[in-house]
């Protein structure tokens, strides 16, 4: 395995635990579009993704 995601490096109660893994801290960014059309697309995607997981 080349990597894993523990998310929450800014969470004080988790920092000591995560330090045990001797990992490198990497930045990541999330970009989202706004507007009515994009919110409709996101909502539709989330509903579809949720219905696929219920099989």
Among residues of the chain, what percentage have pLDDT more than 90? 11
Domain extents for the chain?
Answer: 12-52
Write the pLDDT tens digit of every residue in 6-25: 677 677 877 788 788 877 77
Cα 7 to Cα 26: distance, rounded to the nearest angstrom? 10
Q: Where are the alpha helices (DSSP H) in the chain?
A: 12-19, 36-52
CA distances from 51 to 21, 37, 44 (A): 36, 21, 11
Does residue 36 have a pLDDT over 90? yes
């Amino acid at each position: 395995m080349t990597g894993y995601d523990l998310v929450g490096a800014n969470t004080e109660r988790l920092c000591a635990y995560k330090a045990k893994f001797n990992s490198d801290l990497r930045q990541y960014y999330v970009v989202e579009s706004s507007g009515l059309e994009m919110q409709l697309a996101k909502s539709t995607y989330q509903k579809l993704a949720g219905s696929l997981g219920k099989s």
